[in-house]
Chains A and B, each alone.
Chain A
Amino acid sequence: SYELTQPPSVSVSPGQTATITCSGNKLGDKYVCWYHQRPGQSPVLVIYQNTKRPSGIPERFSGSISGNTATLTISGTQAMDEADYFCQAWDSTTAVFGGGTKLTVL
């Protein structure tokens, strides 16, 4: 079955840039979405089609993809950005999520 690999944890200082990666076989041939999930809350879509932000998502969130790795970048990270982040792609007709990355804002 298809797998997406994320680092379990990333730490960043307030105001700095956080990067979270997501890798998978032939990921560059697929569209990647990113979600964040604060403790006790439902996931929220923050990036779709690799690079696009839904309305209401701050500009500090951006996405990119190169080869088999997608990257979520959070510029000027704020304390409120501390959350779990999940990448997601479609493998044929099955949606696949990465294992998640816990972002800690120290």
Chain B
Amino acid sequence: EVQLVESGGGLVQPGGSLRLSCEVSGFTFSGYWMHWVRQAPGKGLIWVSGINTDGRTTRQVDSVKGRFTISRDNAKNTLYLQMNSLRAEDTAVYYCAREGDPTIFGVGFDYWGQGTLVTVFS
């Protein structure tokens, strides 16, 4: 059974930092692109960042460039999101998500974690 379990969320003041983790099981982690998607309370989904299979290629949405860093440890089956210089507008549930078969375009995010809540408040 495929499982993605996020952790690391919590309360933080503006300007602070948090590191989110997503531990996966049930599939060959090193064979898939992985992503972070966030959802502010009562709002829609926003893609945050993605990373390729070996961790050498990363992508981010403009609003987090220079502040958030995605990484992965294939030996530990774990995806990370280092979040620095946090702002109130970063408050959201953060989901990790697996992108489907890497040999096929347009497969979407086929497995999602349960999410971890990040609250930035002063």
Contact = CB atoms under 8 A, between A and B. Distances in A.
Interface of A: 1, 30-33, 35, 37, 42-45, 47-50, 54, 84, 86, 88, 90, 93-100
A63 to B, nearest CB: 11
A96 B112 contact: no
28 contacts: A32-B106, A33-B108, A35-B108, A42-B112, A43-B95, A43-B112, A45-B109, A45-B110, A48-B100, A48-B106, A48-B107, A48-B110, A49-B105, A49-B106, A50-B106, A54-B110, A86-B45, A88-B47, A88-B109, A93-B50, A94-B47, A94-B59, A94-B61, A95-B50, A97-B37, A97-B44, A97-B47, A100-B44
Given A31-B106, A42-B113, A42-B114, A99 B44 contact: yes
Nearest to B48: A95
A90 B44 contact: no
Nearest to A84: B44
Interface residues of B, number: 24
Contact of A98 (B44, B100, B105): B44
A46 B110 CA distance: 9
A49 to B, nearest CB: 4
